[in-house]
Structure 1
Amino acid sequence: MIEKIFELSKKNEKAVEKVVFDENLHYLHMVFNKGEGLPEHFSNSNVYMTVMKGTLSIGLDEQEVHEYSYNTLIKIPVNTKMNVKNLNDDTLELIVVKSPAPKI
């Protein structure tokens, strides 16, 4: 086979899966239930975040929290302070792509 296959979990429990983590890009699958999210941090690359299910509540730098729903793609520049949360009842599912891949 020429192609390489990756599978995402289908569970509704909290998950941060590193699906592809190579020198080209980082591709992550994340699932958060109400009140869950990531610790506040600064983006270490350009981040492309796709909301696959639920509603993303995100605060960037000093701006107030914005909400993004299903089928929304947002681009976040490198070195942006991020506060990623699920503040809603429905499960939040995200695909996160970092490009270029951050130097580890």
Structure 2
Amino acid sequence: MIEKIYTLSLNSSNKEVKKVILDDNLHYIHMVFPKGEGLPEHFSNSNVYMTVIQGVLSIGLNDQEIHEYKAGNVLKIPKDTKMNVKNLHENMLKLIVVKAPAPSY
């Protein structure tokens, strides 16, 4: 078998940050946030491509006010950007985050 298969949890109703693929090329992360949940404020350690799969993403970048993005939006966030990722809405927020190139720690 040439391909390697990874599985996402599609029916999670709890906060979840699952690092699906972590290799030398990229990091592929599945995130699920109920209302009021999100990530601690941090700086991006690579270029971040964030796809909103479900719900509404509320995100503050650097010193900008919070912007909101609905399902179907893909954000490209440069390395070293301050990020404040939250779900401020009733519906579950589901994201796919790709970091490319993979961060070097």
User: What TM-score do the two structures reach when normalised by structure 1?
Assistant: 0.99
How far apart are the structure 1 equivalents of 2:78 and 2:9? 27
Report deviation, 1:59: 0.1
Partner of 1:4: 4
Partner of 2:48: 47
Provide the aligned C-alpha RMSD in A: 0.5
Residue ranges of structure 2 left out of the alignment (5+ in a row): none
List per-residue Cα deviations over 1:40-91 (Å, max 9, x = no partner).
0000000000000000000000000000000000000000000000000000
How far apart are the structure 2 equivalents of 1:21 and 1:97? 10
Bigger mean CA deviation after superposition, 52-61 or 7-16: 7-16
Residue ranges of structure 1 left out of the alignment (5+ in a row): none
The share of aligned pairs that are identical, in percent, is 66
How far apart are the structure 2 equivalents of 1:12 and 1:56? 16
